[in-house]
Amino acid sequence: MANPAILTVDDDLAVSRAVARDVRRQYGDRYRVVRANSGSEALEALKEIKLRGDQVAVLLADFRMPHMNGIEFLEAAMDLFPRARRVLLTAYADTDAAIDAINRVDLDHYLLKPWNPPEEKLYPVLDSLLDAWTTTPEATASVTRVVGHRWSAPSFKVRDFLARNLVPYRWYLSDEPEGARLLAAAGVTEADVPLVITPEGKSMVQPSETDLATHVGLSTTPAKEFYDLVVVGAGPAGLGAAVYGASEGLRTLLVERRATGGQAGQSSRIENYLGFPDGVSGAQLAERARRQAVRFGAELLTTREAVELDVRGATRVLKFGDGSEVASHAVVLATGVSYRMLEAPGLSDYRGRGVFYGSAATEAPSCSGQEVYIVGGANSAGQAAVYFSRYAQRVHVLIRGESLVRTMSRYLIDQIESHENIEVHPFTEIAEASGDEHLEQLVLRDARDGESRSVDTSWLFIFIGAEPRTDWLDGVITRDRHGFVITGPDLIAGGNRPVGWTMPRDPYHLECSVPGVFAAGDVRSDSVKRVASAVGEGAMAISLVHRYLEAQ
């Protein structure tokens, strides 16, 4: 691993050189000094450092830069290196902005220009910040290590779980020297993969997601038995509900089956979300929301799947798959939707071994120079196509319709058309999948004339339709024929109250057929399937929770 980096960014070339020179003179023997002349250039440098698995110790950014000022840069950089120490370079006239930045980006220090002599005004500050960084346990090079086979579905599942929960890890192939050494040290064979080794040195063979979560620091057990509010699902709607619920003083528990972000968390780039003109990845957006919810006091449980909702008077009880339960005054259902399984001979045999549902961003670097196939015509498929086009030789988008116009946002269609290595195949469906230990070939069929052709590929990513995970609510919550939760005015269409409704009033707008239980986001019947609307419904649900609690 390379020396940790100290990154400086300033659009004034002379100042940029001077900062880098002074920093390199004092710290160049222990740290790699990286210099950038703009916020965007600095972010690209940080992304390269992140991909290499290296560390960044300190970020020094000038406040007054065009296009992206220093505060905006530091805010974006937090998503890549949240533990790097942050310093803002300011003039005397900008001290108010620096003070604001202390709250906005958790600024560690601001330096007034000029900083001469550096021995008095620069080095003592950096010495203190570097000491703090090196003594922070999370800043060490120790990370979770995963040893597995390239085409092992359980190995992919472990890697995907860690990546989606933003747990740093290193991946070792079991047939390479270092992977083989780790297997030998743990006393297991290649047939036992995946092997997971925690930063503390504990070895786990084929761990469950719950065991994995527990040993990498994710919370899996509620701290209390009773809460004001339990939110089920940590996608955009659930995160929105958790942020607003916790910020308004409700004892809030957020329960997630797998990882924060939901389907949106797998999006490589969301460019139509308000307030992010340059776009934001789903993982970044979800992580910011998670940090925000936790900062307000929300408690987050991972790998806990709700399997039953029980009504006990004014108490709402959620039961989990392991038999445990948690009670609350109110519940927000924000479980979202899952991609529908694509039915074709052979596909189910290669899930996690060349066939993936969702973007599976962990696999993108492995697709370098290869042919990638994507099934689906909605925004999630378009975002994935643009993302994989950075790595793949060619990306093929398979759709059953005539074009993308009716199913995909215009901005994504324009991007796809601008990439020479993305090709859209209309009226095309998958007829069969085949291969040896992993996917090697697809049979594509023309939906108009039935003509088939075979293509060689090891990569298929599927984004088709959506169905809610609501079977566990059967007999308790009213749902439509597709399984989506019916709420508010739709429950009393025709003048009839829902069966079992005990209140003298009509259901609130997002309220389900059980008083005190609300639904928000994609799981709700006739909802708008967009990230912004899901976040809005999550926030709206909290105002209705307050109204419900005040009336009790």
**DSSP secondary-structure letter at 342?**
P
Name the pLDDT band for 141 (thresholds 50, 70, 90): very low
Q: Which residue has the tokens 């761990």?
A: 207
All structural domains of the chain, each given as residue ranges with its CATH number in brackets, are 5-139 (3.40.50.2300), 144-207 (3.40.30.10), 226-338+467-551 (3.50.50.60), 347-462 (3.50.50.60)
pLDDT reported for residue 105? 61
Phi, psi of 42 (to 5 degrees): -65, -40
pLDDT reported for residue 303? 92
Report strand pairing: 315-320 vs 306-312: antiparallel
Higher pLDDT, 281 or 33: 33
pLDDT tens per residue, range 362-412: 788 889 899 999 999 999 999 999 999 989 999 999 999 999 999 999 999
pLDDT tens per residue, range 291-313: 999 999 999 999 999 999 999 99
Checking if the pLDDT of 465 tops 90, the result is: no
Name the pLDDT band for 494 (thresholds 50, 70, 90): low
**Looking at 321-436, which runs of residues are DSSP E strands?**
325-333, 337-338, 355-357, 371-375, 394-398, 422-425, 428-435
If you average pLDDT over residues 509-515, what whole number do you get?
95
If you average pLDDT over residues 116-145, what whole number do you get?
80
Distance in angstroms (rounded) separating the CA atoms of residues 270 and 261: 12
List Cβ<8 Å contacts ≥24 apart for 186-193.
Answer: 190/149, 193/147, 193/148, 193/149, 193/152, 193/154, 193/155
